[in-house]
Amino acid sequence: MFYLLYNVVWFFTRFFLFLLPPEFAHNFTFFIIRIFFKIPFVKNFAKSKYCIYNKKLERNVFGLKFSNPVGLAAGFDKNAKLINDLDAFGFSFIEIGTVTPKTQYGNKKPRLFRLRKDKALINRMGFNNDGLDKVVSRLKSKRTNVIIGGNIGKNKITPLEKSVEDYEKCFNDLFKYVDYFVLNVSSPNTPQLRELQRKDKLEVLISSIQSINNSKSCPKPILIKISPDLHFKDVDEIITLIKKYNIAGVVAANSTNKRDGLKTNFNNVKKIGLGGLTGSPIREMSTNMIKYIYQKSSGSIPIVAVGGIMSPEDAIEKIEAGASLIQLYTGFVYEGPLLVKRINKAILKKYN
Ligand SMILES: Cc1cc2nc3c(=O)[nH]c(=O)nc-3n(C[C@H](O)[C@H](O)[C@H](O)COP(=O)(O)O)c2cc1C
């Protein structure tokens, strides 16, 4: 009965939301969640419908205990506004950010587009975020035990040569408030950011962050988020650095600059212009990247899989490819909140 009702409600909710401009729909959804979850019992009701508790879903990855393998990808709650609410949809971890030291407006609007025929999005948000201070103040009021990842980056105005300082500032200020870190060096929407994936630059970044980390009494897991557009020879160099500096894992992958094999009319895609493509069309690219890292590292590097997970089958594909954890963004937008539970149920069925 619940599933029937859910399908009807989600059909109309999505229909309505998709009439709105994408970024407005996103912010409106946040507003609605915040209002509704203030009503007594609503959050508990959502939890009772969307969460699944089973010891067999628990995962110990890079020293942290996840109550299930499904998390929310970076970019959805960039500013940690809903950290006390989003676990009601069944996520065991939420990656906030990308956070930069200073507040940033991001690129000019419109900067988020739907490709409905492809179940995809194109975004050129450009690290719009409230900046470190505001994010830290929100994290201080965290009331749930959901695991929080801190995805960090550089401000647009910071020259590439000084970018390590931005990462260091974010790392230090967020250290007390997040459970793990992700160095985002793969967003296509901040000029030159992806150059930080190059061996020499990445080594400087990783070594400096890891040395700060190691000076703490209780170091935190640090992961690197990579682009699905990397060549495998670049991935080899990243794997070498991950091993050399004892990096906890890799998040694979971010959005792509490619536009191959889309069902959406070519001219419409061209009109949208620059930006990172996400959702269904990047599923295979992301899976291939995960398979490669898993095989090349003989399974020694924990992989957080993200990219085109739109169904339980897609999630299983990522796990079979070698992922320890998975994250959703575009799938959550197109398929709705029940996707998290459906994935967890499928994992239970497949592996137990
Ligand atoms: C609107 C939007 C904003 C995003 N912002 C960020 C971000 O700030 N930092 C980041 O690391 N990834 C960001 N991402 C990328 C996602 O975290 C994820 O890697 C990508 O969307 C692929 O997963 P998906 O196919 O499930 O969406 C963003 C994605 C979208 C759609």
Overall pTM > 0.75: yes
Pair 320, 269: CB distance under 8 Å: no
Is the CB of residue 69 below 6 angstroms from any atom belonging to ligand 1? Answer: no
For atom 24 of ligand 1, the residue with the nearest CA is: 307
Position 156 scores a pLDDT of 96
For atom 28 of ligand 1, the residue with the nearest CA is: 75
Task: Provide the Cα torsion 23, 26, 30, 31; round to 10°.
Answer: 60
Is the CB of residue 128 below 6 angstroms from any atom belonging to ligand 1? Answer: no
Residue 330 CA: nearest ligand 1 atom is 27
Dihedral sign for Cα atoms in the order 261, 266, 271, 273 = positive
Position 165 scores a pLDDT of 98
Q: Of the residues 92, 187, 297, 324, which is catalytic? A: 187
Position 3 scores a pLDDT of 84
Dihedral sign for Cα atoms in the order 64, 68, 73, 77 = negative
Q: 233, 141, 241: which is closest to 183 by C-alpha?
A: 241
Pair 347, 81: CB distance under 8 Å: no
Report the residue among 113, 122, 129, 254 best suited for mutation to probe ligand 1: largest number of ligand atoms under 8 A from its CB: 254
Distance 267 CA to ligand 1 centre (A): 24
* Nearest-5° Cα angle at 169, 327 to 328: 5
- How far is C-alpha 178 from the geometric centre of its chain's CA atoms? 15
Rounded distance, CA 291 to CA 70, Å?
A: 19
Residue 333 CA: nearest ligand 1 atom is 27
Q: Buried b / exposed e across 247-280, counting CB within 10 Å, b at 16+?
A: bbbbbbbbbbeebeebebeeeebeebeebbbbbb
Composition of the chain by helix, strand, coil, percent to 5: 45, 15, 40
**Low pLDDT (below 50) residues in the chain:** none
Position 117 scores a pLDDT of 98
Pair 247, 241: CB distance under 8 Å: yes
Is the CB of residue 278 below 6 angstroms from any atom belonging to ligand 1? Answer: yes
Position 123 scores a pLDDT of 98
Position 79 scores a pLDDT of 98
Distance 352 CA to ligand 1 centre (A): 31
Q: Dump pLDDT digits (tens) for 72-94.
A: 999 999 999 999 999 999 999 99
Q: 105, 151, 107, 165: which is closest to 129 by C-alpha?
A: 105
Rounded distance, CA 132 to CA 79, Å?
A: 9
Residue 98 CA: nearest ligand 1 atom is 8
Distance 276 CA to ligand 1 centre (A): 8
Distance 253 CA to ligand 1 centre (A): 9
| Bond from prior residue into 315 cis (ω within 30 degrees of 0) | no
**Tokens describing residue 312:** 């339980």
Distance 302 CA to ligand 1 centre (A): 20
Is the CB of residue 331 below 6 angstroms from any atom belonging to ligand 1? Answer: yes
Is the CB of residue 151 below 6 angstroms from any atom belonging to ligand 1? Answer: yes
Q: 50, 48, 68: which is closest to 59 by C-alpha?
A: 68
Distance 238 CA to ligand 1 centre (A): 21
Pair 326, 319: CB distance under 8 Å: yes
Rounded to whole angstroms, what are the CA distances from 2 to 25, 53, 54, 278? Answer: 25, 18, 20, 30
Rounded to whole angstroms, what are the CA distances from 303 to 122, 200, 203, 218, 318? Answer: 24, 23, 20, 22, 10
Q: 112, 202, 100, 218: which is closest to 151 by C-alpha?
A: 100
Residue 26 CA: nearest ligand 1 atom is 1
Position 1 scores a pLDDT of 77
Backbone φ/ψ region at 110: left (φ over 0), alpha (ψ -120 to 50), beta: beta
311 is catalytic: no
Position 283 scores a pLDDT of 98
Is the CB of residue 112 below 6 angstroms from any atom belonging to ligand 1? Answer: yes
Position 200 scores a pLDDT of 95
Rounded to whole angstroms, what are the CA distances from 211 to 61, 117, 132, 220? Answer: 22, 46, 21, 12
Is the CB of residue 226 below 6 angstroms from any atom belonging to ligand 1? Answer: no
Q: How far apart are the first and last CA of the chain?
A: 26
Distance 127 CA to ligand 1 centre (A): 10
Position 209 scores a pLDDT of 98
Residue 127 CA: nearest ligand 1 atom is 8
Residue 254 CA: nearest ligand 1 atom is 19
Rounded to whole angstroms, what are the CA distances from 330 to 89, 203, 335? Answer: 15, 31, 8
Position 352 scores a pLDDT of 78
